[in-house]
Structure 1
Amino acid sequence: MVETPRITKLFENSRTVCIGRFLIDVPADAQVVYGPSEVPYPVKVYRGKANEMEGMIAERLAQIQKEKPDVYGALRGKDSMVGKVINGLAPGQKIVFGVSSASFAFYNIESYVKVDDDIVMQNAEASGSPEKYSTVVLELNSMAPLFRSRSDLQIPAETGVCIEDGFVKDAGKSSFEMVGLGIRLTSYPDVHFSLSLTNKDILVPSDALEPRIGQAEQIARSSGQGAWHERIKNLRRGRREIGRWVGYEVLARMPAQEAAGESHEFAFLSQGEPKNPYLPVLELELHSGMRENQIGGKKPSVTDDEAVAIWDRLTSSIRLRPHL
């Protein structure tokens, strides 16, 4: 595919975005949206809210009190920690014991830490066993000193993980990490690109993209959609390397259906290397024809050549962030 003048102009001015342990170059006017982060537990930065931490905790405790009558098991016992607040090991750190939304027999333990003008909140679930929740508290305490504030334009020089409005310094040991990023192009608002990076302990065969694509094709044919499936235009398909990642790529223009118009649907997946945060599972997707998050909601604003050029520009720029 040949890059068109429109796409060359789109990338004339670009900026570098830090996501996880990696960098990606995007058009300067692109809208970048970070997804949820887990390092190794879910973590969120409340920018500029440091002076509001006490009020935030008070609101959380009021909510916990409403949930308290529904708890059961060890969380109902006389030694229950539900609704209690203890000091963490970091200066000013507070740890709040709430209730898991998935099971009222489990704690949701939240750690609040002031970092400059921000609040960093990390939460984890644990059973009612003192041994279990004590282990989680130790882990939350060990993470608290590792958080740093960060603007979207800052590229840290030390090892660690970039998250939205923040940075998690390397803990010195491999653990679960998951970060994600969405990119929307201001010049072509129907074109959405997404990136996901996950450091896993084991290789999960079902993660692989090629078998899933094959299964979807079989289902389409067996469900009477064979004629529609035959009209899919494969622009590129097969093995691809992006940096050190080796994976499988499918770039296709999808024909219109009864409930949706034409669209580009591109995907790449590499399973990386288990327990290697510098070679995590990498999942990439691009969709065109998006309207209000619906695929095929409008006519694609880019041609096949332009969609592939955007994909190649973004994906080929993904690289490990240099660090000391």
Structure 2
Amino acid sequence: MSTQPGRSLGSRLKLVWIVLSLLGGVWLVRIIQENHMKARIAEMPTKTVCVGRFLIDVPKQAIISFGRTRLAGWRISVDYDETESAFKTQLLEKEKELRGQKNMKGWESLESVTEIETAGVSGKVLVFNRKWAHHYEFGERVETTSAAILGFARTQGVSFQFRADYRDTKNVPGLVQIFKQLRTRDGNKIPTEPGFCFENSLIADPLMASQSESTVMFAGLPGHPDLAIALSTTAGLKIDRTLLQRDADGNFRQDYSSAIHNFRLGERTVNGFGGQELMDRVRERSGVTGHDFEWEAYSKKDSVFTPKISLEMSTGHGRPGGPVQSSLSDVEAIALWDKMLSSLRLRPTAPSN
């Protein structure tokens, strides 16, 4: 029985056309879905957060917290819930506790108490737990000594603690001056006074780059427990190796090239601040994938307005446990990243007095 070549060829062409149509339909659906995802992220309501000298817009439902904050060698913590009565009680109890302790030479640990009552700020600075040590320079023994310093300050219903474990007591007047520059603020309002933001607080200028003001903001999104966002800033630093140089120093990208898909790797200027961007999708051994995005600005050591500032966003974090599948698609993760990073800008301020 003879076949009909024309009919056979026509059937094949029809089949190819059907397959191409199906593939085209799938591709079109994917494009529509991705555009919908981008639009959803673009239209997402945001709120502005003040971090150091900068502002950044994050999703309105984001849960914000702050990590370590430092200035001039002092570790700073804030308590917005403590009452005036509890603050005073804490001061008395801490002073009593230290008077009952001994330093390494067996002397009373508490050396001095400086009362603070100035510029709307009340509190105390306690010097205690002195330590002695020595080292050798050019064969000569050099004696050194330092003490722990703990500062308690309260202003406008907010309590602050400033702490350093090894400081010279000559730093106490500088700490008292910082107390005078403390401000509290409504977290929903962006301050106009020049200074350094952390949590719902501000330390007003003048501040110098050599004081190395530093803080970090963390953000998370409800419904996305695997997502981590962090914006950190530290003044007075000059980074010797850039983000991309440090990335190239390691062998991770070469050793695990099959597990890494790079989206971007290069220079990116954000609102006048030059920097470098690194954006990867990483596939774990378990098969799940997550994202690892980072941008870091070029810093200058001599200005508080050109700090080491870095934005990081990653997905796929198990809480607790090992890596999990990212709750954001590639398109969603990139859109959210671009939305936040493009909003990072220097906080405008009123002229300083």
- Sort the TM-score into its range (normalised by shorter chain): 0.7 to 0.9
Q: Aligned partners of 1:152, 1:28: CA distance in 2, in Å?
A: 13
Amino acid at match of 1:278: F
Q: 1:167 aligns with which of 202, 225, 229?
A: 202
Q: Aligned partners of 1:251, 1:96: CA distance in 2, in Å?
A: 47
- Kept in 2: contact 1:4–1:306 (CA 8 A): no
Q: Aligned partners of 1:99, 1:210: CA distance in 2, in Å?
A: 44
Q: Aligned partners of 2:94, 2:59: CA distance in 1, in Å?
A: 39
Could you tell me which residue of structure 2 aligns to residue 184 of structure 1? 220
More moved, 268-277 vs 306-315: 268-277
The reply to whether residue 60 of structure 1 matches residue 65 of structure 2 is no
Could you tell me which residue of structure 2 aligns to residue 9 of structure 1? 40
More moved, 83-92 vs 230-239: 83-92
Deviations 1:164-208 (A, max 9, x none): 1211111254431101111112243322111101101x52314x2
For structure 1, which runs of at least 5 residues remain unmatched after alignment?
A: none
Deviations 1:123-154 (A, max 9, x none): 23445xxxx31x21011011111111112212
Q: 1:149 to 1:300 in 2, by over 3 A?
A: same
Q: 1:152 aligns with which of 187, 190, 211?
A: 187
Q: Aligned partners of 1:293, 1:22: CA distance in 2, in Å?
A: 32
Q: Aligned partners of 1:262, 1:61: CA distance in 2, in Å?
A: 53
Matches within 5 A, 1:1-324: 4-10=35-41, 11-40=43-72, 41-49=74-82, 50-61=84-95, 64=98, 68-69=101-102, 71-72=103-104, 76=105, 82=110, 84-88=112-116, 90=118, 92-99=122-129, 106-127=146-167, 132-133=168-169, 135-174=170-209, 175-200=211-236, 202-206=237-241, 208-216=242-250, 218=251, 226=255, 228-257=256-285, 261-292=288-319, 297-324=323-350
- Kept in 2: contact 1:46–1:118 (CA 8 A): yes
Amino acid at match of 1:232: I
- Kept in 2: contact 1:45–1:165 (CA 8 A): no
- Kept in 2: contact 1:14–1:26 (CA 8 A): yes
Q: Aligned partners of 2:281, 2:252: CA distance in 1, in Å?
A: 19
Q: Aligned partners of 1:22, 1:48: CA distance in 2, in Å?
A: 26
* Cα distance, 1:267 vs structure 2: 1.2
**Identity level (%):** 23
Q: 1:148 to 1:316 in 2, by over 3 A?
A: same
Q: 1:106 to 1:172 in 2, by over 3 A?
A: closer
Aligned pair count reads: 301
For structure 2, which runs of at least 5 residues remain unmatched after alignment?
A: 1-30, 134-144
Q: Aligned partners of 2:38, 2:189: CA distance in 1, in Å?
A: 26
Q: Aligned partners of 1:32, 1:278: CA distance in 2, in Å?
A: 23
Q: 1:177 to 1:307 in 2, by over 3 A?
A: same
Q: Aligned partners of 1:293, 1:157: CA distance in 2, in Å?
A: 40
Amino acid at match of 1:323: T
TM (norm. structure 1) is 0.83
Amino acid at match of 2:148: N
Q: Aligned partners of 2:129, 2:252: CA distance in 1, in Å?
A: 41
Q: Aligned partners of 2:185, 2:54: CA distance in 1, in Å?
A: 15
Could you tell me which residue of structure 1 aligns to residue 27 of structure 2? none
Q: Aligned partners of 2:92, 2:46: CA distance in 1, in Å?
A: 43
Indicate the SS of the match to 1:242.
coil
- Kept in 1: contact 2:37–2:331 (CA 8 A): no
Indicate the SS of the match to 1:205.
coil
* Cα distance, 1:37 vs structure 2: 1.1
Indicate the SS of the match to 1:191.
strand
Q: 1:3 to 1:144 in 2, by over 3 A?
A: farther
Q: Aligned partners of 2:252, 2:281: CA distance in 1, in Å?
A: 19
- Kept in 2: contact 1:100–1:125 (CA 8 A): no
* Cα distance, 1:321 vs structure 2: 1.0
Q: 1:125 to 1:3 in 2, by over 3 A?
A: farther
TM (norm. structure 2) is 0.77
Q: 1:32 to 1:92 in 2, by over 3 A?
A: closer
Q: 1:306 to 1:52 in 2, by over 3 A?
A: same
